[in-house]
C-alpha cells in the first residue's frame, strides 16, 4: 500500500468522498431506472398522459444525474492528477493502490454498484427505444389501414349518423401515443 499525504489529507479520506459521490450518482441513476421502467409500462398500455408526466419527471431528474456524474469524473481526474495516474488510459482502480484494503473494498463495491445500475438503465433505455419504434411503426400501419378504409369505402367506416361503425378496419383506432 502506498499512501499519499498532502495538504488535502490522506488518500483514504479522498476515497471516502469518492465513494460518497458514486453512491449519490447511483441514487440518481436508480431514480431514472424507475422512470424508465414506468415509461415501458405506460408505452405498453398506451397511456399518453402518464407518458407525458413521466417525460417531465425524466427532464427534471436527468440534469441532477448528469451533474453528479460530472462531479465524480472531475474528482477522479483531480485524484489521478495528484497521484500521477493518467485516466484514461488508466483506470479508477489504479488510484486504489494508494490506500488500504478496507478502503479499496468499499470503493470497489460502490463502483460495482454504480456500474450495475448504469448498465441496467442503459439496457432498459434500449428496450424502451425498441418498444417506441415498434409503437410508431404500428401507428403508421394502422393509420395507413384507416386512410385506405376511409378513402376507398367511407360508408363501411362511418354510419349515417357520422359515427364509426362497429365493423371494419376503420373502427379500431382509439387513442394512440
DSSP for 89-132, written as a single string: TS-GGGGGGGS-HHHHHHHHHHHHHHHHHHHHHHHHHHHHHHHH
In the predicted model, what is the mean pLDDT of residues 36-61? 94
CB 3 within 8 A of CB 11: yes
pLDDT per residue over 127-173, tens digit each?
A: 999 999 988 888 788 888 777 776 765 555 555 565 655 555 444 44
What's the CA gap between 177 and 155, in Å, rounded? 27
3-state secondary structure of 5: strand
Q: What is the pLDDT of residue 57?
A: 97
Contact criterion met (CB below 8 Å) for 35 and 89: no
Give the CA count within 13 Å in the CB-facing half-sphere of 16.
6
The model's confidence at residue 117, banded by pLDDT at 50, 70 and 90, is: very high
pLDDT of residue 66: 96
- What pLDDT, in 10s, does the model give residues 60-97? 999 999 999 999 999 998 988 888 888 776 678 888 88
Q: Is the pLDDT of residue 24 over 60?
A: yes
The x, y and z cell numbers of residue 165, run together, are: 361503425
pLDDT band at residue 3 under the 50/70/90 scheme: very low
Q: What is the mean pLDDT of the chain?
A: 82
Q: Which residues pair with 5 in a beta bridge?
A: 10
Q: Tell me how far the alpha carbon of residue 17 is from its chain's centroid.
A: 25
pLDDT above 90 for 121: yes
Report cis status (omega within 30 of 0) of the bond before 141: no
**Spatial distance between the Cα atoms of 160 and 140, rounded to a whole number of angstroms:** 28
pLDDT at 111: 94
Q: What is the pTM for the complete model shown? A: 0.74
Amino acid at each position: 500500500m502506498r499512501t499519499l499525504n498532502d495538504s488535502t489529507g490522506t488518500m483514504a479520506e479522498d476515497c471516502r468522498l469518492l465513494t460518497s459521490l458514486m453512491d449519490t450518482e447511483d441514487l440518481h441513476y436508480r431514480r431514472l431506472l424507475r422512470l424508465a421502467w414506468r415509461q415501458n409500462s405506460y408505452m405498453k398500455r398506451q397511456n399518453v398522459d402518464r407518458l407525458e408526466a413521466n417525460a417531465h419527471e425524466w427532464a427534471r431528474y436527468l440534469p441532477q444525474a448528469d451533474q453528479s456524474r460530472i462531479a465524480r469524473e472531475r474528482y477522479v481526474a483531480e485524484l489521478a492528477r495528484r497521484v500521477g495516474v493518467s485516466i484514461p488510459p488508466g483506470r479508477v482502480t489504479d488510484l486504489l493502490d494508494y490506500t488500504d484494503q478496507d478502503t479499496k473494498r468499499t470503493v470497489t463495491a460502490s463502483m460495482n454498484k454504480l456500474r450495475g445500475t448504469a448498465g441496467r438503465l442503459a439496457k432498459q433505455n434500449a428496450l424502451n427505444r425498441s418498444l417506441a419504434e415498434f409503437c410508431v411503426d404500428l401507428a403508421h400501419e394502422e393509420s395507413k389501414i384507416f386512410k385506405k378504409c376511409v378513402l376507398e369505402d367511407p360508408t363501411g367506416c362511418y354510419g349515417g349518423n357520422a359515427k364509426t361503425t362497429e365493423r371494419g378496419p376503420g373502427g379500431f383506432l382509439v387513442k394512440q401515443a
